[in-house]
Amino acid sequence: MYLELLEQLYSFLINEIHMPKFSNLIEKNNLVPKSNIDYLDKIRGAFVGLALGDAFGNFIEGQNSSEIDYVLNLFKSDKHSISLDVSDDTEMTILFSESLIINQGFNPEDIANRFIRQPITRTGKTINEFIINYRDRKLEWYKSGVESAGNGAAMRCAPVSFLNYGDYNSLKLMAGIQSTITHVDQMAIASSIALSYSIAYLMNLEPFSIKESEQINDLISAVGDSIKGIETSVYRSRTEDEIENLYTRINIVLPKIIKQQEDMDKVKMKWGSSAYVLESLPYALYAFLKQPNDFEQILNNCIGADDTDTVTSMALTLAGAYIGFKNIHKVYVKKLRNLEEILTLSDRLFELSIKNKLNNPYRRMRDQIRTNNDSPENLQDELDQLIWMAIKHTKQEQFELAVKYFELLIEKNPEFKKNEKLKTNIIEAYEGLGNRFLEKGQFEEALKYFKKALEHDLNHPSILCNLAITYLNLDDLNKAERYSRRAVELAPDFKIGKEVLNAVKSLNKEK
């Protein structure tokens, strides 16, 4: 999103603060949005997962194992109504999200201002130092960041993914730049890019579709490619005092750990699990990738971490981005005190993501359709958005809205009416709305929308049958028989069609 602005910011920061160059290090782009994925649900899932992990981890951090088991049982139980509060991980993500929504795009100075003006729970050493630099010492926002390899930049990066799940270049630039507001260290910048990319990658996977180890290896390889070459400084692991960086730990060591299915405690002994991002991000990735299809087990994998809230938050962000909000057990969700705020922000971020046409899985449809060569670019963007909104509302069974968007689309460009891929969705929207009116007994309205559906496919047995049923309710037996007979002729095995035709014949005999 706003790639040109991001590139200008990137060049500015390289000149002003000698930010490491990473824009020209792109290896692959595996961010390909798919038309069968509900991205609103994915954004909601990731944001709710982030907050749940933060709230739960914050609640149990520092407690002994017996206390943790007790709290874990409360958390999983439907009988106990406990409410959990979030901490700095979620609060800074919320502030970042609010800035994106209010500015309708990325404004790092506004984000920095929000970080110093709003109270944040349990801020770490690096954030406190940033606040002193920016608020008290009056340094420019781009000179207030700290040389720290803490996980504070990664923990708040999820909104980058929500806006750029199909736009690799913008994702990488935005993730790196948002890090420099508070963390200018190479590893911190790499961590923000790595986690942002991981979230976006998972958003483009169907829920519960990871079945093979090869799929996990593909994800790890792609994440490694996204940060390759950024870290040129020497870093040491705290546990074994070895020279290592985030790229080598994710791209080389993590696949071996996954293959061996190492116990979480052993991995903690090898890597550590503190706020040092070399420890906490790979640990969170492993907690997720060890059992990616089991939300509860991912949570269990995190509870032994030293930086429990951030590790759990990062791991459950990944889980939520992968399985979506609808697949997170509501026993967990209802424990979150600020759930409505997070869902509202998620919805606004999704709406903002639509403005980035690279996120639109339907944009290729437009390219297959003959359009006027002199159509202005803003019209093309509007057509993309109308396609997306129409199909999204169809899939959510919000048929009245879907019909509204489809009719606007066809009004602006009648050629879309001829598109075979789009036709199926248009028929589904009209037929769905017709069925709604039919169920309510509003037969004239139902008739209107079934006829509109039929305009797109004159030989559609289901629509013909629905028309027959509607005419039957309007006591027009001749038309009811005509449409039901046509449905059966087209589909002899269509059970409902045959039942309707037999019913009409029976009524005609009685007359």
Residue 369: CB atoms within 10 Å: 15
Query: Do the annotations mark residue 83 as ligand-binding?
Result: no
Rounded Cα distance between 409 and 413, Å, is 6
Task: Please answer whether residues 343 and 97 qualify as being in contact, where contact means their C-beta atoms are separated by less than 8 angstroms.
Answer: no
Report whether 89 belongs to an annotated binding site: yes
**DSSP single-letter state for residue 240:** T
Q: How many whole angstroms separate alpha carbon 144 and alpha carbon 132?
A: 8
Distance CA 206, CA 198 (A): 14
Residues with Cβ < 8 Å from 509, sequence gap 6 or more? none
Number of other CB atoms surrounding residue 265 within 10 Å? 9
Chain centroid, CA 399 distance in Å: 23
Known binder of ligand: residue 41? no
Candidates 372, 408, 191; CA nearest to 280 is: 191
Distances (CA, A) of 494 to 132, 484, 488: 73, 10, 6
Residue 457 is labelled as binding a ligand: no
User: SS3 string of 325-344?
Assistant: HHHCCHHHHCCECCHHHHHH
248 labelled as ligand-binding?
no
Beta bridge partners of 276: 150
User: What is the rounded CA–CA span in Å between residue 219 and residue 30?
Assistant: 9
Q: Is 88 annotated as a binding residue?
A: yes
The tokens for 400 are 């009245």
List the end-to-end C-alpha distance of the chain, in Å, as a whole number: 66
Structure tokens at 248: 């080598």
Helices 277-290 and 264-271: angle between axes, nearest 10 degrees: 160
Cβ-proximal residues to 60 (8 Å cutoff; 6+ apart), any chain: 67, 68, 71, 72, 303, 308
Query: Residues annotated in the binding site, as ranges?
Result: 87-89, 307, 309-310
Query: Residues annotated in the binding site for Mg(2+), as ranges?
Result: 87-89, 307, 309-310
